[in-house]
Amino acid sequence: MKKVAALLFASVFVASSLGFAWIEDDEEKPKHTIKKVMAKVFKGKTALLSKVSKGTATDEEKKAFIGYLKALPKNTPKKGDAESWKVKTAALIKAGEAVVKGDEGGGAALKKAANCAACHKVHK
């Protein structure tokens, strides 16, 4: 009986440890690829960046916008320095959050941070 209890305890311990490891790994994996973020946030007339910048985005679209931006630094660009990617994506997230909150100067910061050419020259 003691062996069964010990085996059961060990099984539960291992299973819970693996479960927590999977949860931790999911936090590190990006929810969206760079390609998907570019398509949803930056491309076309219905792009979230355009709607957020103009102030026409719904609360749901604003939340999605920030979610897409926060996925960027968890991805690895095709080329370029990792530190540059980190700096550029952090500036984009900070500016996006400022616009969504309605902070003064957020629009100018977002326009500067969302400069496609500046990022593409280095990372695409």
pLDDT less than 50: residues of the chain: 6, 10, 12, 20-25
Q: What is the pLDDT of residue 7?
A: 53
Q: What is the pLDDT of residue 19?
A: 52
Q: What is the pLDDT of residue 64?
A: 97
Q: Could you identify the residue written with the tokens 């929810």? A: 31
Q: Could you identify the residue written with the tokens 């099984």? A: 11
Amino acid 60 reads: E
- Is the distance from CB of 123 to CB of 85 less than 8 angstroms? yes
Q: Among candidates 44, 46, 28, 36, which has minimal Cα distance to 69?
A: 36
Q: What is the pLDDT of residue 31?
A: 92
- Is the distance from CB of 71 to CB of 92 less than 8 angstroms? no
Q: What is the pLDDT of residue 27?
A: 59
Q: How far is 81 from 43, CA to CA, in rounded Å?
A: 24
Q: What is the pLDDT of residue 21?
A: 45
